[in-house]
Amino acid sequence: MSAYLAHETHERAGNPLDIIEQIIASNEWAFERRNDAEMAAEAPGKWCDYGLYFSWSHEISAMHFSCAFDLKVPPEKREKLFELLAMANEKLWIGHFGIDSDDGVPVFRHSVLLRGAPGASAESLEDMVDIALTECERFFPAFQFVLWGGKSPAEALQAAMLDCVGEA
């Protein structure tokens, strides 16, 4: 890539954290804008509160996003949870699950490349956050079933993926 094109791309791509900050504020979630490249927030969920972390790299015009569960994984249970994560990741179209190696916390991750784009749209960033929270809520019971319910990863995933129809 030519230096001119790289410079022009950096000039055109705005900082998507400005838009994310507006989205987070409009939802009235707690957040901290650490600097021009990082922001952390907390979003309430049905099962737990989720720690959102956004990191913007102006150099490569990419934003990394993670959504961490408020759930610690004991070291002796990590092997089974890794198996569950692999099975869950097969069901995702966007993003992936992992475990933070420092804290042992399950996390949903996704990155957005914006090179050549005039910037990220509010709709696409809002969708990114919504998809992450939806997937975390959808798979949270499976994590609980493996960690505390004594179920195998396959049993936990099957139980968590049941769609209830009708009313009781």
pLDDT tens for residues 70-117?
A: 888 888 888 999 999 999 999 999 999 999 888 889 999 999 888 877
pLDDT for 163? 57
Nearest CA-CA partner of 53 in 13, 103, 94, 17:
17
Report whether 111 contacts 63 (CB < 8 A). yes
Q: Judge whether 148 lies within some domain.
A: no
Q: Judge whether 120 lies within some domain.
A: yes
Dihedral pair phi/psi, residue 110, rounded to 5°: -160, 145
Q: Judge whether 124 lies within some domain.
A: yes
pTM of the predicted protein model: 0.83
Q: Judge whether 162 lies within some domain.
A: no
pLDDT for 164? 52
Q: Judge whether 152 lies within some domain.
A: no
pLDDT for 11? 43
Q: Judge whether 144 lies within some domain.
A: no
Q: What is the CATH number of the domain that holds 103?
A: 3.30.1460.10
- Element holding 149 (H helix, E strand): none
Q: Judge whether 142 lies within some domain.
A: no
Range of the domain at 110: 3-75+94-135
The total number of structural domains in the chain stands at 1
Q: Judge whether 155 lies within some domain.
A: no
> What would the pLDDT profile of 28-67 be if each residue is shown by its tens digit?
999 999 999 999 999 999 999 999 999 999 899 899 999 9
> Count of H helices and E strands in the chain?
5, 6
> What would the pLDDT profile of 115-152 be if each residue is shown by its tens digit?
877 778 889 899 999 999 999 999 999 999 999 898 99
Report whether 142 contacts 159 (CB < 8 A). yes
